[in-house]
Chains A and B, each alone.
Chain A
Amino acid sequence: MDAEPAVASRAVAVGSRRKPKAERLPGEARRIGYLYVAPAFILYAAFNLFPLGQGINLSFYDWDGITPGTWVGLDNYVEFFTEPAIREGYAHVLQLMVFYSFLPIVLGLFLAALLSRIRIRGLTFFRVLLFLPLVITDVVTSVAWIWIYDVDGPLATAMDAVGLGALVPSAGWLGDFNTALPAVGVFGLWGQFGFCLILFLAGVMKIPASLYEAARVDGANAVREFFAVTLPGLRYELQVVLVLTVIGTLGTFDEIYVMTGGGPGTSTSVPAYQIWSRLFRTGEVGSAAALGLVLMLIVFAVTFAINRLMERGAER
């Protein structure tokens, strides 16, 4: 799914979480701590923090990567508002979020609520199967879905068999201007769904049975029980999944590169792909740097906003 699968994804919970107990500063005063932190910090600073500074500088230039660049001030940022292609990329990412975030969460919640009512035998086995799409390299799963969406692939074959062959796009789903983006979306839904379900199932099992019993004594039906017990009990899992999937979608790259190359036309172009293509295809280095920084700011803002909203929701 995301360009930086696990790292960026596992990030999330970070900003949130009520004060961990360890907030009382742990340990004793020891300056030798610097030595322990130094190797990791030097690498991290040199290849993550320092480039951020360089990127800010680059973003003020019009530079093709070879000849000397010219200072253009904020032009590369103004582009963000004036160039339709950039807005289009974000519009695509917003649509993808429905598939990468909203639908997996809704389906995962629904199924987790259903499944929470029984003790599942062989859960480990099902978990392994449901996790596979997330564990296997995006490039591999993308290759699988290229075949599924092919004009002669399984989806077309199945539709032919039930008499819907006329609805198969002549260039396959990934080759059609109208269907390429939702097709990528369905791929994302497939990749994210298992993770959401398993995370929610794990969360549901931690909800004390007494809460369910109490709800039932009060005569709550399954729907009331879901909104009164299950959903509040999964608040934290929900927050995590929401941040994870939304950040992941903002950075979507691998599957776009492998499945569509941003096409047909620009119908599946996304911000990360535009950055890559400006850097390597069109030689708009300063603009690529600016786009990367803007994407980062959006990721920060979204992470902050979701964590804030969910925490405020919890206080009520």
Chain B
Amino acid sequence: MTPTTRPQITMNYVLLIVVSAIAVYPLVGVLFASFYPSGPGTSPSGFGLPPSLEWRNYLTAWEQGGFADSFTTSVIVAAVMVPASVILSILGGYAFATMRFPGSKAIFYLFILGLIIPTEATIVPLYYDVQALGLIDTYWALIILEVSGEVAFGIFWMRAAFLSAPPSLLEAARIDGASSWGALWGIMVPFAKPAILTLTVLVFADSWNEFFLALVFTINHPTAPAGLASFSGRFTTDIALVSAGAVIVALPIVIVFIIFQREFMRGMLTGAVKG
């Protein structure tokens, strides 16, 4: 470490605190705003505490915003798509990490390509495909499209995790006569548990935060973010109420983030940096 003086250290902490405060201010501001008396014309200034604690805003927002319905959609979609994405990624990643078959390299690179194909490139034909399948405004549309979008990263991630396993691990299993299926679930999956947990958390966050697909493919059964977008559009002047809606939608992901922050960091940082 560098020789540093006390004032320098203090300066650095001050900087860090200022920067963190800027990051959090809009979010805390919304939290405070959500407790202000609701109604058009009342505008939280963003400074100081709310004059009273209007818990009622949450009830009103929940009802007016139809969040019971949009949370149902989000929860059902996540409950199906997260396990599905993770399992398909484990299977694919395992094959690419431990097996060699004709074309495996080409197929792997096709998946990698999926990491940078923007949704906008496929959204137009997809809309008509989903319509032809009769799946517009259904949970299935979101589940299928989200899983098909996640497996590219998931396979990439799980392959790296399985590659980091010592080869002796798999060899020992094979000497014991384990099948590839048995070795996967008996040896490799337990070994890769931390990576799987990280992937699960990231996939859940993607699913909960997905907006574009929800906007395109849902009508009466939006997801939580899509529900909030239309709620905020309808109640533009009622900042307290819209803020309460925003807090409701943010809460699940914030809780998951705080519980699993180590996995989040690892995923977002090494997921980005590790090739």
Chain A interface residues (CB < 8 Å from chain B)? 3-17, 20, 22, 25-34, 36-37, 39-41, 43-49, 51-52, 54-55, 58, 65, 111, 114-115, 117-120, 124, 126-141, 143-148, 150, 152-154, 157-158, 190, 193-195, 197-199, 202-203, 209, 212, 216, 236-237, 240-241, 244, 247, 250-251, 253-254, 257-258, 271-272, 275-276, 279-280, 285, 288-289, 291-293, 295-296, 299-300, 303
Stretch at the interface among B52-60, B142-150, B189-197: B142-150
Q: A7-B153, A30-B180, A51-B125 are in contact. Are A240 and B273 (CB under 8 A)?
A: yes
Q: Which single residue of chain A is at the shortest CB-CB distance from B242?
A: A143
The DSSP consensus for interface residues of chain B is helix
Interface flag for B187 (CB, 8 Å): no
Q: A4-B149, A6-B268, A279-B123 are in contact. Are A296 and B15 (CB under 8 A)?
A: no
Q: List 17 A–B pairs whose Cβ atoms lie within 8 Å, in order of A's numbering.
A: A3-B120, A6-B209, A10-B202, A10-B271, A37-B91, A39-B88, A39-B91, A117-B8, A118-B12, A120-B16, A130-B20, A131-B264, A135-B205, A138-B225, A144-B243, A147-B44, A253-B120
Interface readout for B237-275 with A: 1 if CB under 8 Å, 0 if not? 001001101100110011001100100110111011111
Q: Which single residue of chain A is at the shortest CB-CB distance from B206?
A: A6
For B98, what are the chain A residues with a Cβ–Cβ distance below 8 Å? 26-28
A132 touches B265 (CB 8 A): no
Give the residue of A3, A31, A137 whose beta carbon is less than 8 angstroms from that of B225: A137
Q: Which single residue of chain B is at the shortest CB-CB distance from A53?
A: B125
B29 touches A272 (CB 8 A): no
Query: Closest CB-CB distance, A86 to chain B, in whole Å?
Result: 13
Give the residue of A130, A141, A209, A240 whose beta carbon is less than 8 angstroms from that of B272: A240
A154 touches B117 (CB 8 A): no
Q: Report Cα–Cα, A103/B271, bound state, in Å.
A: 23
Question: How many pairs, one residue from A and one from B, have CB atoms within 8 Å of each other in the complex?
Answer: 375
A137 touches B118 (CB 8 A): no
Give the residue of B23, B145, B216 whose beta carbon is less than 8 angstroms from that of A133: B23
Interface flag for B43 (CB, 8 Å): yes
Q: A10-B268, A139-B249, A140-B250 are in contact. Are A130 and B23 (CB under 8 A)?
A: yes
State the 5 A-B residue pairs at the shortest beta-carbon distance, nearest first.
Answer: A154-B46, A17-B275, A11-B115, A36-B95, A54-B125
A12 touches B253 (CB 8 A): no
Chain B interface residues (CB < 8 Å from chain A)? 1-2, 4, 8-9, 12-13, 15-16, 19-20, 22-24, 26-27, 29-30, 33, 43-47, 88-89, 91-92, 94-102, 104-105, 107, 110-112, 114-129, 144-145, 147-156, 163, 180, 202, 205-206, 208-209, 211-212, 215-216, 224-226, 228-229, 232, 236, 239, 242-243, 245-246, 249-250, 253-254, 257-258, 261, 264-265, 267-269, 271-275
A190 touches B26 (CB 8 A): yes
B272 touches A289 (CB 8 A): no
Q: Which single residue of chain B is at the shortest CB-CB distance from A251?
A: B118
Q: A33-B100, A118-B8 are in contact. Are A140 and B228 (CB under 8 A)?
A: yes
For B102, what are the chain A residues with a Cβ–Cβ distance below 8 Å? 31
A136 touches B27 (CB 8 A): yes
Q: Report Cα–Cα, A132/B31, bound state, in Å.
A: 14
For A46, what are the chain B residues with a Cβ–Cβ distance below 8 Å? 148
B261 touches A128 (CB 8 A): yes
Give the residue of A30, A65, A194, A250 whose beta carbon is less than 8 angstroms from that of B118: A250
A6 touches B91 (CB 8 A): no
Give the residue of B101, B163, B257 whose beta carbon is less than 8 angstroms from that of A132: B257
Q: Which single residue of chain A is at the shortest CB-CB distance from B257?
A: A135
A276 touches B216 (CB 8 A): yes
B209 touches A5 (CB 8 A): yes
B45 touches A152 (CB 8 A): yes
B99 touches A36 (CB 8 A): yes
Among A51, A111, A236, A299, the most chain B Cβ lie within 10 Å of the Cβ of A51
A7 touches B43 (CB 8 A): no
A194 touches B272 (CB 8 A): no
A54 touches B115 (CB 8 A): no
Q: A5-B209, A32-B180 are in contact. Are A190 and B23 (CB under 8 A)?
A: yes
Give the residue of B45, B96, B253 whose beta carbon is less than 8 angstroms from that of A136: B253
Give the residue of B9, B15, B99 whose beta carbon is less than 8 angstroms from that of A33: B99
B120 touches A44 (CB 8 A): no
A13 touches B91 (CB 8 A): no
Q: Report Cα–Cα, A47/B145, bound state, in Å.
A: 7
Query: Closest CB-CB distance, B255 to chain A, in whole Å?
Result: 11
For B224, what are the chain A residues with a Cβ–Cβ distance below 8 Å? 137
Query: Closest CB-CB distance, B232 to chain A, in whole Å?
Result: 5
B272 touches A9 (CB 8 A): yes
Q: A7-B149, A137-B253, A150-B239 are in contact. Are A13 and B274 (CB under 8 A)?
A: yes
- Additional pairs, 9, CB under 8 Å, beyond known A44-B152, A135-B264: A5-B206, A7-B149, A37-B91, A51-B126, A130-B19, A132-B23, A134-B268, A199-B269, A285-B124
Q: Report Cα–Cα, A29/B95, bound state, in Å.
A: 10
